[in-house]
């Protein structure tokens, strides 16, 4: 499956939900943005027998949900590494051959349309995907829900005194009022954390000034 759409709208989280509903172990996740071209070739096609490679990592996986995150970062010259995997459920590199049958393979990418995916991947790889699932930009309602959930989640990480300060302040209300300034779940989390930390720092400075003046 190809999950495509803007960054930070739930593609990776959806893969985690699928894994958690089907598998007891951790999701197998490989982020393609972590590789440079040279090491990517060795990782996908196999190098020396003792070198890190995708085949070894797949052998050690805990379940049959496989996530290739940021698949669009894979150089086109390496697409052939996935032809047999996506077509027959068999992965072969220089040193190993393993079966991935009965697996769910999910790729995420920031493409905007199926047409863009076809243009980027080419017909041989595009035709090997069974499903294309589009993720839309977050709605205002979704942003507000994420802000509330993230505020509640982060609030638990502070001690009782800090929570008391944060709940008295109008942080949550202000964040919701400015929900349209956020574009995705990542900057919502950063915005919530930043607002909470800033409030606590300002409160600490106010208390310090009071003690100093006293």
Torsion sign, CA atoms 96, 100, 104, 105: positive
The conformational region for residue 127 under phi > 0 = left, psi -120 to 50 = alpha, else beta, is alpha
Phi-psi region of 59 (alpha: psi -120 to 50; beta: other; left: phi over 0): alpha
Q: Count CA atoms within 13 Å of residue 129 on its CB side.
A: 20
45 in Cβ contact with 93 (< 8 Å): yes
Dist CA 48 CA 119 (whole Å): 34
pLDDT digits (tens, 9 = 90+) for 80-94: 999 999 999 999 999
Reported pTM? 0.78
Please report the pLDDT score of residue 99 as a whole number. Answer: 95
| Residue-range domain boundaries for the chain | 2-134, 140-213
Write out pLDDT tens, residues 7-46.
888 899 999 999 999 988 899 999 988 877 778 888 999 8
Under 8 Å CB-to-CB from 178, ≥6 apart: which residues?
none
| Residues 183, 142: Cα–Cα separation, whole Å | 11
Identify the CATH assignment for 2-134 out of 3.40.50.720, 3.40.50.300, 3.90.1150.10, 1.20.140.10: 3.40.50.300
Q: What is the mean pLDDT of the chain?
A: 91
pLDDT tens column, 46-75? 888 888 899 999 999 999 999 999 999 998
As given in the structure block, the two tokens for residue 16 are 């985690």
Identify the bridge partners of residue 4 per DSSP, sorted by sequence position.
109, 134
Please say whether the dihedral angle defined by the alpha carbons of residues 34, 38, 42 and 44, taken in this order, is positive or negative: positive
Q: What pLDDT is recorded for position 100?
A: 94
**Helix 140-155, helix 160-168: angle, nearest 10:** 150
Interval 98-139: pLDDT, tens: 999 889 999 999 999 999 999 999 999 999 999 999 999 888
Q: What is the 3-state secondary structure (H, E, C) of 168-204?
A: HCCHHHHHHHCHHHCCCHHHHHHHHHHHHHHHHHHHH
Radius of gyration of the chain (CA): 22
Q: Give residue-wise pLDDT tens across range 173-197.
A: 999 999 999 988 888 999 999 999 9
Torsion angle (degrees, nearest 10) of CA 157, 160, 165, 168: 100
Q: How far apart are CA 112 and CA 109, in angstroms?
A: 9
């Amino acid at each position: 499956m190809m999950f495509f759409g803007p960054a930070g709208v739930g593609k990776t989280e959806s893969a985690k939900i699928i894994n958690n509903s089907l598998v007891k172990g951790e999701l197998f996740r490989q982020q393609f943005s972590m590789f440079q071209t040279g090491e990517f070739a060795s990782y996908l096609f196999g190098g020396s027998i003792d070198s890190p490679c995708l085949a070894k990592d797949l052998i050690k996986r805990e379940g049959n949900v496989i996530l290739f995150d940021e698949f669009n970062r894979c150089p086109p010259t390496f697409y052939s590494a996935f032809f047999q995997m996506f077509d027959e459920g068999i992965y072969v590199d220089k040193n190993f051959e393993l079966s991935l049958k009965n697996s769910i393979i999910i790729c995420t990418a920031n493409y905007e349309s199926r047409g863009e995916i076809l243009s980027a991947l080419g017909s041989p790889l595009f035709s090997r995907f069974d499903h294309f699932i589009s993720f839309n930009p977050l709605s205002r309602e979704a942003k507000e829900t994420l802000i509330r959930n993230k505020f509640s989640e982060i609030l638990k990480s502070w001690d009782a005194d800090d929570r008391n300060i944060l709940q008295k302040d109008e942080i949550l209300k202000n964040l919701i009022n400015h929900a349209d300034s956020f574009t995705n779940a990542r900057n919502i989390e950063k915005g919530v954390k930043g607002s909470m930390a800033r409030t606590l720092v300002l409160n600490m400075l106010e208390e310090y000034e009071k003690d100093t003046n006293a």
